Structure 1
Amino acid sequence: MGIQNSKFRWVIFASVLFTYVVMSAQRTAPGLITDQLMTDFQVTATTIGLLTSIQFFVYTGLQMPMGILADRYGPNFFLIIGAILTGVGTIMYSLGTYEFVLFFARILTGIGDATIWVNLVLILSKWFNEKEFTRLIGVAGMTGSLGFLMATVPFSALIVLLGWRGAFLSGGILLCLCGIFLYFVLVKKPNHPMIEKNEVHREKTSVLLRRIFSSRQAWALFLCHFGLVGGYLGFIGSWAVPYGMDVYGLTRLGASQLIMYSLIGALLGAPLIGWISSRLGMIKGPYLFFHMVTVLCWSTFLLFREGPPLFLLIPLFIIIGFAFGSNSLTFATVRKTFPISESGMVSGFANTGGFLSAVLLPAFFGIVLDHFTSGYYFGFIIPLIFSIAGLIGVNLIKE
């Protein structure tokens, strides 16, 4: 029997992606209540910065271990546990009365969050054929951006309605319910040959790791993801609003619209680029094109000492977001060029590259701002270098 022809796979697709939307929203939602946390807990901006970054450090550090575990024991169990852990962490965050409780809660949500993408990729790769997967992984990428969008105006409205504690409590309960629902969808319902434990491959993990770390293809995908994700998440998510305010004199609301433009680009780019790649029957060509577009966009910032004119700035943010949507092709390449028994590990390795750059870029950008008068101008050299690394990576891919 072919599970890739089963209609039930669409139920799995919808339930896994809904969980991903909710988990993506809780990643960035704490940024909405920074001032309230500082007031309620009497903490400094440095403490809040550490609280914000700790989840991403945990997420990045667990990508490879999660890939190894998913390959060994199957993705279903880890996705279910991850959703529940994230929910419990979010509930603890909403009920916390001491700083250490907030830190523990964000570490817990980081552990849960680390399970989502690698296991989502594995689940979709088992239930959908290669051509469908290339299209649908783009849709999955879009849902991540949709989650970030949910963590802006909609979640702000929920905070106004319920207070920040009530809003986060609601989000945590919803995630726990998602985990329970996934248990019935992924474990109890299907009677398919999609066994949780990988019965096919018994190679030692150390042997697999050596092979992946010596694989040109794996490093190429690491660099591809490093080049795209850092510039988008690292700059757009951290420095875009201060840039708009400091360089263009925009209000906080006006500057935050820059993020919205980029987010709209990403929402459009992810599914459309996946569809284009699927229609063309190739991955490297479209991926190479959008890496080149990203390099050109970041280069454009260096042509204007005082910043690009506003009429050019907005299209730049939209195009950077659109090109970022092509990062889902990293995992389409994994699906196409690695055996299923190794795809979790390679996906985790590639995803580590992306989030490593997202952690490094804001820090490097901040150092440049502290040491140069025209800090923003010189700061754009960093995403340019990162995107060039991505361009090198995509040229190394063998399709």
Structure 2
Amino acid sequence: MTLSDPAVDRTAGRRRAGLVWGTAAAAYAVAVLHRSSLGVAGLEASERFGAGAAGLATFVVVQLVVYAGLQVPVGLLLDRLGPRRLIASGAVLMGIGQLVMALASDVRLALVARVLIGTGDALTFVSVIRLLPAWFPLRRVPLLTQVTGVVGMSGQVLAAVALVPVLHGGGWPTAFVTAAVVGVVVGAAVAVVVRDAPGPDRRRGAAGSPAPGVAAAPAPVRPRTRRALGAVLREPGTWLGFWVHFVGGSSINAMVLLWASPFLRSAEGRSPAEVSSLLSLTAVVALVAGPPIGHLTGRRPERRLAVVGVVAAAIGLAWAGLLLPPRPLPLWALALFMAVIAVGGPTSLVGLDVARAHNPRERMGTATGVANAGAFVGALLTMSAVGLVLDARGGAGVAAPLSDYRVALATAGGTWLLGVVGLVLAARRVTAGRSRPASPPPPPPAVPRPHADGVVDALVAGRAPAAAGPSSGRR
């Protein structure tokens, strides 16, 4: 028998953790590519399916309704089944959805495709994030959460830079079949590489090395579903995480997933190359902003809400700067707007840290699922309202002029204000819970004190009375 070298074990643990995380993060990047694919093909989708602005919004709205609606059930499944199964299943589902989209020629089949994509997407991100506390020291989890989000943004870049040329060069079926193949390949990689936690691999009998400072995860606690969900929903910190996610991520998701490309091309008169550059800029900004936000909020958790407040205020000012001028903006101003709302993406991930911090380990998946629905609920509100207003303004749809887009996109201000109000109220609830005095401990059980005859105390204590003394023996 040979004794293992601790340094070698630590190095192997780091490499194993990095490989698991890298594979899972790649699956998330591909999920973002699938999620963003219709946004970069908005005009082509409108022509292919004969859909107006509201009809085009319906595709993405249906996908996000599925995504947001499944976050809580997915969180419950995650706490029971583990991340690996959910990530691999999600990748395969999204690949099937993209294949259906490639073959779709009518709205009904395209909606089926978006439902499949939304379902697979819902399984992915919270599962990837759930791997982090199992494979890495807890002090590194906030930073790695941000890095995971940054890696995911590369899928948005691929949608704008790689998928668009394939779409314009090879046509609609070629572009979406290519995306489908990529999704299935990533799903297979996840099934082979990813494990839920360090320690014995029950399926194959192999052993993995835990990351430095991370003990092998114990057998997961299986809380009852209804009780676990009720506990998560009653926790004010869960809702604080939800509103942080809402106010940070709703603007960037509404624009990137649907309205950025039509708005920039039709209302602002920008070329497809300029639109691709602006969409790619959002990923670059997230890449730059994410790690510092994760580092600061990880080392100084008490400053989380201050960071979120500053970013929320900047997003509100960015919307005002975009919508108030009555004429098209210069390219630098559009780039500034996209950069500011892009910072909201990594800021929204702070909400997941907040939700995890207020819930025990066995309910982390459920809490993360609830919080992760925030930005997508906000994006749904904005995307639906913009489509309805554009169609109501004259029927030009996605090709509407700037004046119509200014009115329609003003609905994003209402969503932003709702997020700010929800954030303030949730923060007050959490603060009130912390300042509430703790309930006094229950009094200790009474200890019987003997009377002269000992009868009463003996009966209360549940034992036979003691024999009577000389003074009480006469009747």
Give the TM-score of the pair, scaled to structure 2: 0.73
Q: Does residue 213 of structure 2 align to residue 213 of structure 1?
A: no
Q: Closer, same or farther in 2 for the Cα pair 1:330/1:91, shift >3 Å?
A: same
The aligned residue for residue 191 of structure 1 is 207
Q: Closer, same or farther in 2 for the Cα pair 1:34/1:306, shift >3 Å?
A: closer
The correspondence for 1:124, drawn from 124, 132, 145, is 132
Q: How far, CA to CA, are the matches of 1:33 and 1:248 in structure 2?
A: 17
How far 1:365 moved relative to its partner?
A: 4.2
The correspondence for 1:181, drawn from 189, 200, 206, is 189
Cα RMSD after superposing both structures: 3.4
Q: Greater Rg, structure 1 or structure 2?
A: 2
The amino acid across from 1:306 in the alignment is P
Q: How does 1:288-307 map to 2 (within 5 A)?
A: 288-299=306-317, 301-302=319-320, 305-306=324-325
CA contact (8 A) 1:291 1:390 kept: no
The aligned residue for residue 154 of structure 1 is 162
The aligned residue for residue 56 of structure 1 is 64
The amino acid across from 1:364 in the alignment is A
How far 1:8 moved relative to its partner?
A: 0.7
Range 63-72 or range 178-187, more displaced? 178-187
CA contact (8 A) 1:242 1:255 kept: no
**Which runs of no fewer than 5 residues in structure 2 stay unpaired?**
1-8, 196-202, 211-216, 394-402, 435-475
The aligned residue for residue 282 of structure 1 is 300
CA contact (8 A) 2:31 2:94 kept: yes
How far 1:242 moved relative to its partner?
A: 5.5
Size of the alignment, in residue pairs? 395
How far 1:230 moved relative to its partner?
A: 1.1
Q: How far, CA to CA, are the matches of 2:41 and 2:337 in structure 1?
A: 29
Q: How far, CA to CA, are the matches of 1:128 and 1:298 in structure 2?
A: 36
SS of 1:201's equivalent in the other structure is: coil
How far 1:102 moved relative to its partner?
A: 2.6
How far 1:151 moved relative to its partner?
A: 0.5
SS of 1:306's equivalent in the other structure is: coil
The correspondence for 1:91, drawn from 93, 99, 105, is 99
Range 299-308 or range 336-345, more displaced? 299-308
**Which runs of no fewer than 5 residues in structure 1 stay unpaired?**
none
The amino acid across from 1:78 in the alignment is L
Q: Closer, same or farther in 2 for the Cα pair 1:17/1:223, shift >3 Å?
A: same
SS of 2:221's equivalent in the other structure is: coil
Q: How far, CA to CA, are the matches of 1:295 and 1:245 in structure 2?
A: 27
Q: How far, CA to CA, are the matches of 1:160 and 1:252 in structure 2?
A: 11
SS of 1:115's equivalent in the other structure is: helix
How far 1:255 moved relative to its partner?
A: 5.8
Q: How does 1:1-399 map to 2 (within 5 A)?
A: 5-40=13-48, 46-186=54-194, 191-192=207-208, 199-235=219-255, 237-241=257-261, 244=264, 250=270, 254=274, 257-278=277-298, 281-299=299-317, 301-302=319-320, 305-306=324-325, 310=330, 314-366=335-387, 370=392, 375=407, 378-379=410-411, 381-389=413-421, 391-392=423-424, 395-396=427-428
CA deviations on 1:138-163 (whole Å, 9 max, x unpaired) are: 11111222111110121112224433
How far 1:387 moved relative to its partner?
A: 4.4
% of aligned pairs identical? 22
CA contact (8 A) 1:287 1:394 kept: no
Q: How far, CA to CA, are the matches of 2:389 and 2:97 in structure 1?
A: 35
How far 1:266 moved relative to its partner?
A: 2.1
CA contact (8 A) 1:221 1:393 kept: no
Q: Closer, same or farther in 2 for the Cα pair 1:260/1:391, shift >3 Å?
A: farther
CA contact (8 A) 1:51 1:103 kept: yes
CA contact (8 A) 1:25 1:150 kept: yes
CA contact (8 A) 1:294 1:323 kept: yes
Range 130-139 or range 282-291, more displaced? 282-291
How far 1:109 moved relative to its partner?
A: 1.7
Range 144-153 or range 266-275, more displaced? 266-275
Q: How far, CA to CA, are the matches of 1:262 and 1:186 in structure 2?
A: 29
CA deviations on 1:112-166 (whole Å, 9 max, x unpaired) are: 1110011111112211111221111111111222111110121112224433212
CA contact (8 A) 2:12 2:209 kept: no
Q: Closer, same or farther in 2 for the Cα pair 1:179/1:387, shift >3 Å?
A: same
Q: Closer, same or farther in 2 for the Cα pair 1:3/1:110, shift >3 Å?
A: farther
The amino acid across from 2:143 in the alignment is R
Task: Point out the structure with the larger helix share.
Answer: 1
Range 376-385 or range 17-26, more displaced? 376-385
The amino acid across from 1:202 in the alignment is R
